[in-house]
Amino acid sequence: MLWATYFIAHYLTQYMRQSQLFGKTLKENPKDEVAKNAIFLERGGFIYKTMAGVHDFLPLGLRVLSKINAVIREEINGIGGQEIFLSAFQPRERWEKTDRWDSARAVMYRLTDNSGHSFGLGFTHEEAIAEIATRSIFSYKDLPLAVYQIQTKFRDEPRAKSGLIRGREFLMKDLYSFHADEADLERFYSIAKMAYERIFKRLGLKTYITEASGGSFTKSFSHEFQVLSDAGEDWILYCAVCGYAQNKEISQLKEGERCSKCLGTVALGRSVEVGNIFKLGTKFSNAFNLQYIDADGNKKLVVMGSYGIGPGRLMGTVVEIMSDERGIIWPESIAPFTAHLILLESKDATENIKIKKAGEKLYGELQKKGVEVLYDDRRDKSPGQKFADADLLGIPVRCVLSEKTIAKKSVEIKRRNSDVVKLVALEKIVAFFSSKK
RNA sequence: CGGGCUGUAGUAUAUCGGCAGUACGCGACCAUGGGGUGGUUGUAGGCCGGGUUCGAUUCCCGGCAGCCCGACCA
């Protein structure tokens, strides 16, 4: 927790005046959008849509994204991942080593420069990392190894959809692991699986670890982390009792039948794949001659694994799951701010000065205590508008300061996920936030 | 990529083929001040290209774009 706070503090300010905020809320739902995440995130000014499947992140959206990334970094660093950052722009020759220049032409954006050279924009980075790893892995002493990045991917999706759920340009956390043998890959694979479980749990998401096709790389299953949601594009057969699940693509299970692992019943549901983990075997190490010398002096191919999470997709999924008809309900772990301080002006000028003074004081005190606060200091906005915006933005704790509350030397506190309203004395409000941590 | 729907101010929406209107937003002013408050006023628009027509935002064709269903998704 401390680590995350330290990390975030490096590039997120603790506070913001809403009157200065880049990105305004919209009263109307955007035309054509159906997915909740697209509607609320665009309306709230978290993101801006440039084209289908391509989104820009504005301050509020970037804050959420950064916090998701911070959670991911903390957990992946925790299992020994070293962070790197690879280029998206890559030479054709690299892709030809695994034949994906041709075989992946349906998903890869391929382009040519003015001199006629061909390039591909990375839709994944197995080739890149395998090539680079040949300069770092020589001996069994260099293994195991895990490196990861949070980086932009490009995919020529024939049908981008559902806001942040499926894009053509999107962020991906991709982790690659390198091992001396299958057994060691197996060992790390289960460690990574647990780290993934912790990540999703911290974001308040219920995920089903779903058995899925291992693709061309391996005969065994890969595992997808699926969140039940109508905005998803996968179908999974799952048991709500024990959590066992299989992707419909490969499943022999049938809806309504007894679960093979417990007494539950198999159900069929739409879901969003928020992460997946994959045993790559030696496909890429073979293509790039990524070998090491074992203790007996024999050359062997490195065994690889890959593990992906889409932070942007995750943000969209959280909105799909955690919202009501008025807007988003962020979990505290990734909310853009902890507190939304709302100032309601009075018709009485003298009262107004008092309210404003109390607002500035409280705003300053919260900052000093490290409470991330969005201060709605906008003038000429009606209380109704401010409340509606607060509900839309979904910051966990709403603090209202008005003539009424000042008269009682207090602040009204309401959580976004509850209807309970209570008054907290002005001098106790900082303590209120401190005690929450 | 196949199918469907849709393109009008910043946003959301009207308009029998005849001077493009309303609401919100934004600016100004007045009132109001605990759930998108009331009024006056200003601001700003027909996706692109063809065709039909005296005249096209409206009808037709083609493009492009967006959304939805499906296919695809290392």
Q: What ipTM, to 2 d.p.?
A: 0.95
- Any strand B atom closer than 7 Å to A384 CB: yes
Q: State the nucleotide closest to A276 in CA–C1' terms.
A: B74
For the record, the structure tokens of A104 come out as: 């992946």
The separation, in Å, between residue A37 CA and nucleotide B52 C1' comes to: 44
The separation, in Å, between residue A160 CA and nucleotide B70 C1' comes to: 14
The CATH homologous superfamily for domain A36-324 is Bira Bifunctional Protein; Domain 2 (3.30.930.10)
Name residues whose C-beta falls within 8 Å of residue A259's C-beta, 6 or more positions apart in sequence. Answer: A239, A241, A242, A244, A265, A266
Q: State the nucleotide closest to A54 in CA–C1' terms.
A: B66
One digit per residue, the tens of pLDDT, for chain A of length 437 reads 444 444 444 456 678 999 999 999 999 999 999 999 999 999 999 999 999 999 999 999 999 999 999 999 999 999 999 999 999 999 999 999 999 999 999 999 999 999 999 999 999 999 999 999 999 999 999 999 999 999 999 999 999 999 999 999 999 999 999 999 999 999 999 999 999 999 999 999 999 999 998 766 566 889 999 999 999 999 999 999 999 999 999 998 999 999 999 999 999 999 999 999 999 999 999 999 999 999 999 999 999 999 999 999 999 999 999 999 999 999 999 999 999 999 999 888 889 999 999 999 999 999 999 999 999 999 889 999 999 999 999 999 999 999 999 999 999 999 999 999 999 999 999 999 987 65
Kind of pairing between the strands at A327-328 and A323-324: antiparallel
Q: What is the CA radius of gyration of chain A?
A: 25
CATH topology for A2-16+337-434?
Rossmann fold (3.40.50)
pTM of the model: 0.95
Which ranges in chain A are annotated with CATH 3.40.50.800?
2-16+337-434
Given a contact cutoff of 8 angstroms between Cβ atoms, the answer to whether A372 and A361 are in contact is no
Distance CA A79, CA A264 (A): 33
- Tell me how far apart the terminal alpha carbons of chain A are, to the nearest angstrom: 9
Q: Which residues in 240-299 of chain A line strand B, with CB less than 7 A from it? A: 276, 278
Q: State the nucleotide closest to A306 in CA–C1' terms.
A: B74
Which ranges in chain A are annotated with CATH 3.30.930.10?
36-324
